[in-house]
Structure 1
Amino acid sequence: MREYDLIVLGGGTGNIVAAAAADDGFDVALVERDRLGGTCLNRGCNPSKKLIHRADAAETVRNADSLGLDASLEGVAFGDIVDEVIEEVTEAAERKAERAREHERIDFYQTEGRFVDERTVEVDTGDGQTELTADRVVLAGGSRPMIPDSIDGTDEVEYLTSDEAVRMDELPDRLVVAGGGYIAVEMAHLFGALGTDVAVVGRGDVLLDREDREVAERLTEAYGEKHELHLGREVTELRDGGDETVVVAESDDGERIELTGDEVLLATGRRPNSDRWNVSAAGLDTDDGGFVETDEYLETSVDGVYAIGDIAGNYMFKHSGDKEAEHVVETLTGESPSAVSYPGMTHAVFGSPQVGSLGKTEGEVDGDGYEVGTYAYDDTALGSVLSNDGGFAKVLVTDGGKVLGCHVVGPHASMLVHEVSTAVAAGADAETIAETIHVHPALSEVVQGAFRDVRDVAPSGM
Structure 2
Amino acid sequence: MTHATRPIQTDVAIIGAGTAGMAAYRAALRHTERVILIESHVYGTTCARVGCMPSKLLIAAADVAHSARHAGRFGVNVPRIDIDGRAVMARVRSERDRFVGFVVDTVEQWPAAHRWQGHARFVDTQTLAVDGPAGTRCLHAERIVIATGSRPAVPPAWRADLGDRLIVNDDVFSWTDLPGSVAVVGTGVVGLELAQALHRLGVRVRLFGRGSRIGPLTHPALQELACGVFGGELPLTLGVQDLQPRREGDAVALRSVLSHGRVEEERFEFLLAATGRLPNVDSLGLENTALPLDPQGVPVFDHRTGQVGDSVVFMAGDAADDRPLLHEAADEGRIAGDNAGRWPDVRQRPRRAPLAVVFSEPQMALVGATHAELVASGADFEIGEVSFADQGRSRVMDRNQGALQVYAQRGSGRLLGAEMLGPAAEHLGHLLAWSVQRGDTVQQMLDSPFYHPVVEEGLRTALRDAQHKLLLPAPLPEVCLECAT
Q: Same fold (TM over 0.5)?
A: yes
Q: How high is the TM-score relative to the length of structure 1?
A: 0.91
The aligned counterpart of 2:8 is: 2
Partner of 1:139: 146
1:82 corresponds to which of 81, 89, 92: 89
- Give the aligned partner of residue 321 of structure 2: 313
Distance 2:391 2:260 in 1: 45
Match of 1:356 in 2: 365
Alpha carbons of structure 1 residues 53 and 234: separation in structure 2 relative to 1, 3 Å:
farther
Tell me if the contact between 1:343 and 1:424 (Cα under 8 Å) persists in the aligned partners. Answer: no
The separation in 2 between residues aligned to 1:72 and 1:288, in whole angstroms, is 58
2:230 corresponds to which of 223, 226, 229 = 223
Q: Distance in 1 between matches of 2:340 and 2:257?
A: 50
Instruction: Assess if the C-alpha contact under 8 Å between 2:245 and 2:255 holds in 1.
Output: yes
What amino acid maps onto 1:147 in structure 2?
V
Instruction: Note closer, same or farther for the CA distance 1:195–1:448 as it changes in structure 2 (3 Å cut).
Output: same
User: What CA distance in whole angstroms lies between the structure 2 residues aligned with 1:73 and 1:48?
Assistant: 26
Aligned to 2:420: 408
Alignment deviations for residues 219-270 of structure 1 (CA, whole Å, 9 cap, x no partner): 2212212221110104532111234211122234654322211111111111
Q: Name the CA distance, whole Å, in 1 between partners of 2:431 and 2:336.
A: 27
Ranges in structure 2 where 5+ consecutive residues have no aligned partner: 1-6, 470-485
User: Deviations for 1:25-59, whole angstroms, at most 9, x for unmatched residues?
Assistant: 42221111223233112111111112211112221
Q: CA deviation at 1:387?
A: 4.4
Larger CA deviation: 63-72 vs 366-375 = 366-375
2:382 is the alignment partner of 1:371: yes
The aligned residue for residue 154 of structure 1 is 159
Amino acid at match of 1:240: R
Aligned equivalents of 1:159, 1:447: Cα separation in 2: 42
Which position in structure 1 is the counterpart of 2:460? 448
Residue 173 in structure 1 maps to residue 184 in structure 2: no
- Aligned residue for 2:392, secondary structure, equals coil
Look up the SS of the partner of 1:155 in the other structure. Answer: helix
Q: Higher mean Cα deviation, 161-170 or 201-210?
A: 201-210
Secondary structure, aligned partner of 2:352 = coil
More deviation, 295-304/193-202: 295-304
Aligned twin of 2:281: 274
- Name the SS of the counterpart of 1:431 in structure 2: helix
Report the more deviating stretch, 338-347 or 171-180.
338-347
Per-residue deviation, 1:107: 1.9
1:390 corresponding residue in structure 2: 401
Post-superposition CA distance 1:289-336 (Å, at most 9, x none)? 333210242111362110011111221222111111222244244496
Alignment equivalent of 1:399, drawn from 401, 410, 429: 410
Aligned position for 1:460: none
Which structure: larger Rg? 2
Aligned to 1:236: 243
Corresponding residue for residue 475 of structure 2: none
Secondary structure of the 1:268 match is coil
CA distance in 2 between counterparts of 1:188 and 1:411 reads 19
CA distance in 2, matches of 1:435, 1:166: 45
Shift of 1:391: 2.0
Let me know the Cα RMSD of the aligned residues.
2.3
Q: Deviation above 6 Å: which 4+ runs of structure 1?
A: none
- Alpha-carbon distance in 1 for matches of 2:119, 2:223: 40
Which AA in structure 2 matches 1:453?
A: D
Give 3-state SS (helix, strand or coil) of 2:329's partner: helix
Task: Tell me by how many angstroms 1:72 deviates.
Answer: 4.8
Q: Which amino acid aligns with 1:154?
A: R
Q: Matched residue of 1:306: which SS?
A: strand
Instruction: Give SS of 2:160's match.
Output: coil
CA contact (8 A) 1:175 1:265 kept: yes
| Residue of structure 1 in register with 2:121 after alignment | 114
Where structure 1 has 5 or more consecutive residues not aligned to the other structure, the ranges are: 458-462
One-letter amino acid of the counterpart of residue 433, structure 1: M
Equivalent of 1:323 in 320, 331, 335: 331
- Verify the 8 A CA contact 1:250 1:257 in the aligned structure 2: yes
Say whether the 8 Å CA contact 1:123–1:129 is kept in structure 2: yes
1:3-82 equivalences in 2 (<5 Å) = 3-12=9-18, 13-22=20-29, 24-72=31-79, 74-82=81-89
TM-score, structure 2 normalization: 0.87
The percentage of counterpart residues that share the same residue type is 26
Q: Which residue of 1 aligns with 2:208?
A: 201
Per-residue CA distance 1:82-111 (angstroms, 9 max, x = gap)? 233333333443443343333238521233
Q: How many residues get paired?
A: 455
Structure 2 counterpart SS, 1:351: coil
Q: Check conservation: 1:178, 1:201, Cα contact below 8 A.
A: yes
Letter in 2 for 1:26: E
| Partner amino acid, structure 1, of 2:456 | S
How far residue 10 of structure 1 moved from its aligned partner, in angstroms, is: 0.9
How many angstroms apart in 2 are the aligned matches of 1:95 and 1:57?
27
Contact 1:62 1:72 in 2 (8 A): no
Per the alignment, in what secondary structure is the counterpart of residue 456 of structure 1? helix
User: Are the equivalent residues in 2 in contact too, given 1:10–1:38 (CA < 8 A)?
Assistant: no
1:288: how far off?
Answer: 2.2
Residues 378 and 262 (structure 1), Cα distance of their counterparts in 2 relative to 1, 3 Å cut: same
- The separation in 2 between residues aligned to 1:230 and 1:200, in whole angstroms, is 6
